[in-house]
Structure 1
Amino acid sequence: MQAKNRIYRKNYNIKEKEIRKFKVYQDYPIQRAFQDCTAQKRVLIGCLGSGKTITCCMEVMRIIRKQKKNSLGWRTSKGAFIRHTKIALMETAVFEFMRMFSSIARLISDKKIIVEIEDERVYSEISLYCLDKPKDTENLRSLPLTFAWINEGRSIRSFDLLGQLIGRLNRFPADNNKGYLLIDSNPCGHTHWLYTQFDRRQDEDLQVFLQPGGLTDEAENRAWLADTNGGDHRNYYRLRMKSMQQHEIDRDIHGKWSFYHEGKAIYPNFKIEKCVIKSPVNVEPNQHKHWVNLSNIPEAIKYYGMNVHLFIGIDPGVVHSAYSIIFKDNDFRWTVLKTKEFTDSDVMDIARELRQDIKDMGLERLGVRNPYKYIHIACDPAGSARSQLDKSATFINTLAKYLETDVYRACSTNNVQRRISVINTAMNQNRFFIHSCSEDQEHNKNENLISALIGGYHREKLNVPGEERYSDEIAKNIASHITESVQYALLAGGEIEFAQDRSYARDLNGRGYFR
């Protein structure tokens, strides 16, 4: 330790009175509760400008100074600051930490921060890691740490790295039996690991703290925002709201869990306000032609006439699978009624769920003996491939056999551009809608499809320093399967032909629908 003193300190000196003036406690309730918490893993979620970064800087300093003394009387620790890119890491976490503690902390190139307080005999090494470098990611898996801080957790895509990181947190010093993981982030989507792995699974070693919205009287960091925005902290948020969509306002201004994705969205023109219809469950069809849901299909068919049909698009996958139920009226307007995704499920699981959904439609109330008269099933062409276990069976005919229907077909094309264009065309012509139940009904909100169209269905950004480049391939995930199931339904329903020729026959018994 003495050798390290001579190497790093040189003419570096600090007086005890300078230590005392450092502020290491926040003044707002949620931030204070975050710092007072003793859980090993702590997550601070809040809107823009709510003081998350500063709070975590203070908490890092508190952790450094409260370590047990070693045999030489020094409080030693090792930490890590982590973010998805080097530029973001240096401009936020490192910048704020050095601004607050520049008299006791020194930046060693762009790899390490040394914190040394001689009067308190405190010494800490903080390594800087950006996950756009594979080497940094590998180093994190074997690093002995006392604490780690993930700045802007929603930008970290995979939860797997965190599982390995948590196992490294009590490795330094050797007798340390408790490490600390701090995460700050703006809210993100319901499919992100911050929500699925953390917000829904709180225990004594994991606590999530949600800050109030930015426009409320309880907004945290409001005093500083008021000083810099004309005496009212709300001005800071009102200025930013002008260029935001509603889901961005909910997420970044009001601090609610909403939709968030990185990468290049395939459908950048998708707007929730334009395409998502929130209606009561039992709305009558004549109140609004697009307000159709699973509970009033018979009434909708009576209203529109017998030419209206339902299309079920299915995208089977090795890990993820999905299907969508879509209503099409005789003006070629599409309303997605329901989507459902599966993980590690076989064809029988999918068929069982689909059969129950068809039963819930209640088509028998029209006196129709065969409920599949108005239903057409469209599948990924890969679904017509032969099973390796049963050479006489395919996914789609096994599904149709269980459903007791012969109204099914594999789509004739799997061309990516054609599949993308069917939703784009209908959306641009105001003929594509997604039904979402009201806020008090948790079922069938179709949030995963909305999340996919906002950006979950995307091309991933490539880690090319200094350039903004994206993969040629669309990212394969649950969002891609949900979206592609909708694409197959629209393809089978004749959307391409309708877009090219408006006089195209609209009768579903016409030969063109299953080309």
Structure 2
Amino acid sequence: MMDIVYEPEPTLLKFHQSNKFFRGIRGPIGSGKSVGCVMEIYSRCLEMPPDARGRRRSRWAIIRNTNAQLRDTTLKTWREWIPDEVCRITMSPRITGRIDMPLADGTRLDVEVIFMAMDNLKAERDLLSLELTGVWFNEARELPLVFITAGLSRCGRFPRQSDVPRYWTGGIADTNSPDMHHWWFKRAVEHTPENWEFFDQPPALLLEDGHYYPNPVAENIRHHSKGFRYYLDMIDGADPDWIAVMVLCQYKSLFTGKPVYSPVWNDNFHASKTPLAVLPDQPLYLAFDFGLTPACVAGQLAANGQLRILREWCSEEMGIRQLVRDAILPDLARDFRNLRYIVTGDPAGTQRSQVDKDDSCFEELARNGLPGTPARTNDFEPRRRAVINRLTYLAAGEPGYLLDPRCTMLREGFLGGYQFELIQTLGDGGLQRYKEVPAKNMFSHIHDANQYLCLALQPETRAQSEAVQKNIARMQQLNRMRARNRTGLE
């Protein structure tokens, strides 16, 4: 057995000593969080009770948001601390690791590690099919809560309790600071579940009177060859928001990519300072994005052609059925009663697999009194152009798109949260390249819904959409008349 020398920092020591079902650690860049999680996995595997054959068996999933980050960062950290002679790595068909080695007490360590990137639907389905001992969510601020819930639901399934005595099982996570909309903040600061625990490392530097100073209680400094100079050099010329998140460890929005709607979004022009009134004589347009984290936007057209976005609904740990019944329908009954609803959404919502084997998302909406029609396309560029057309349109001297202040996720997405991810910076001139489609993050789902709404209200599609809605209404009325006739005959 190879000796692995690891001396945890004070906060990580508390992290290791906890036996909570879910444990999260937040800290500045370079504070040793990821290394601590690697060693937590390894130590938990060593502590696993042996089965009847003397094997200490574990199966872990290690999750990152994208395949590139999984390979370039997470896997690299794992191999630095758990070398290939201890854990044999296989790169295809997916990245897996295998530890099979004798221990000094005569037992044998038998561990399977599955590395997964949550950047496609297949990976999401694969996660829900696993039987795990534990799961590590690396850089958890990049992962929606639905993935955390899915991963934790697979823990405690391996090995079977009948094969070994009771053992610890659960999830661990590390992250740099997210913003205050994030599920991490809500659970770490506002309300922590009973069997969850969060640990905060001290900031690397302190800010006083506009100057940055070394924090005497900062962690992991001894492992940086330049000591505090590692951080002081890093912040020279850096954006203050980036420093606040990555070095000072503050909860704050950090947008590193290119905003999708820059420069056409004008916050002072497009964001209303006061709540927008409901127009009683105009229909309410509802647009949905489906998938694992569904979202909905509601808006009305004013007489001058202005699109007024009145509400947003973002899901957290709920599918389309629960979002509609628990959030949208109660709000409609309270704030938008007696209005006609015109519904559209992602064409993928016609697929039955998004709700269950019998129903599609659009069928689920219709069942709840919200019959709708799919958008004409889910291609990104037509959707983006539809929003840009609205943002650059003047409605009798007023903005063609006006956002209610209660729509905080849409607004923060416009301000930069909905962004094209930076790929690389080229040359001495600093030329930057970005991906051609926006990053999937906490702002992307509500902005997808917003795009479907704007797409439906483009001049060439609005009349068609209303005609379809009228046909649906006529069919529903005809079906009700037929039902009454059948009842009368009986």
* TM-score normalized by the length of structure 1: 0.56
Distance 1:453 1:476 in 2: 10
Which residue of structure 1 aligns with residue 412 of structure 2?
451
**Contact residue 61 and residue 136 of structure 2 kept, 8 A:** yes
Distance 1:225 1:270 in 2: 45
Distance 1:433 1:210 in 2: 41
Give matches, 1:182-201, under 5 Å: 182-195=172-185, 200-201=190-191
**Contact residue 45 and residue 58 of structure 2 kept, 8 A:** yes
Give matches, 1:238-257, under 5 Å: 238-239=235-236, 241-242=238-239, 246=241, 248-257=242-251
Give matches, 1:392-411, under 5 Å: none
Deviation (angstroms), 1:238: 0.7
Change (3 A) 1:379 1:485: farther
- Once the two structures are superposed, residues 313-341 of structure 1 have per-residue CA deviations (whole angstroms, 9 ceiling, x without a partner) of 964236754457999xxxxxx9x998654
Is 1:125 paired with 2:111?
A: yes
- Aligned pair partner of 2:287 in 317, 340, 353: 317
- Aligned pair partner of 1:52 in 24, 33, 55: 33
SS at match of 1:96: helix
Change (3 A) 1:116 1:94: farther
Percent identity over paired residues = 16
Distance 1:445 1:225 in 2: 46
Change (3 A) 1:89 1:204: same
Give matches, 1:42-81, under 5 Å: 42-81=23-62
Deviation (angstroms), 1:53: 0.6
Change (3 A) 1:129 1:486: same
Whose radius of gyration is greater, 1 or 2? 1
Deviation (angstroms), 1:221: 3.3
Deviation (angstroms), 1:43: 1.5
Distance 1:100 1:122 in 2: 20
**Contact residue 264 and residue 458 of structure 1 kept, 8 A:** yes
Which residue of structure 2 aligns with residue 112 of structure 1?
97
Unaligned runs of 5+ in 1: 1-12, 278-288, 298-308, 328-333, 356-376, 396-413, 437-443, 462-466, 492-515
Deviation (angstroms), 1:218: 6.0
- Aligned pair partner of 1:213 in 203, 207, 216: 203
Change (3 A) 1:488 1:240: farther
Distance 2:47 2:36 in 1: 17
**Contact residue 42 and residue 208 of structure 1 kept, 8 A:** yes
SS at match of 1:316: strand
Change (3 A) 1:432 1:36: farther
Change (3 A) 1:340 1:157: closer
Is 1:258 paired with 2:252?
A: yes
Which residue of structure 1 aligns with residue 146 of structure 2?
159
Give matches, 1:286-325, under 5 Å: 293-294=273-274, 315-317=285-287, 320-323=295-298
Deviation (angstroms), 1:60: 1.5
Deviation (angstroms), 1:63: 0.9
Question: Partner amino acid for 2:387?
Answer: R
Is 1:168 paired with 2:160?
A: no
Is 1:180 paired with 2:170?
A: yes
Unaligned runs of 5+ in 2: 207-214, 289-293, 315-322, 346-364, 373-381, 423-433, 460-490
Deviation (angstroms), 1:227: 3.3
Please tell me the root mean square deviation across aligned C-alpha atoms, in Å: 5.6
Deviation (angstroms), 1:196: 5.3
Deviation (angstroms), 1:72: 4.3
Which residue of structure 1 aligns with residue 377 of structure 2?
none
* TM-score normalized by the length of structure 2: 0.58
Is 1:477 paired with 2:445?
A: yes
Distance 2:116 2:273 in 1: 46
**Contact residue 295 and residue 449 of structure 2 kept, 8 A:** yes
Give matches, 1:426-505, under 5 Å: 447-454=408-415, 457=418, 470=437, 477-481=445-449
Distance 2:295 2:49 in 1: 48
Instruction: Figure out how many residues of one structure are paired with residues of the other and give that number.
Output: 382
Deviation (angstroms), 1:26: 1.5
Which residue of structure 2 aligns with residue 141 of structure 1?
128
**Contact residue 80 and residue 147 of structure 1 kept, 8 A:** yes
**Contact residue 314 and residue 322 of structure 1 kept, 8 A:** no
- Aligned pair partner of 2:221 in 212, 215, 223: 223
Question: Partner amino acid for 2:140?
Answer: G
**Contact residue 42 and residue 181 of structure 1 kept, 8 A:** yes
Deviation (angstroms), 1:179: 0.9
Deviation (angstroms), 1:36: 1.6
Distance 2:272 2:147 in 1: 40
Which residue of structure 2 aligns with residue 41 of structure 1?
22
Deviation (angstroms), 1:51: 1.7
Change (3 A) 1:489 1:276: farther
SS at match of 1:159: helix
**Contact residue 276 and residue 433 of structure 1 kept, 8 A:** no
**Contact residue 177 and residue 252 of structure 2 kept, 8 A:** yes
Distance 1:239 1:142 in 2: 46
Is 1:99 paired with 2:80?
A: yes
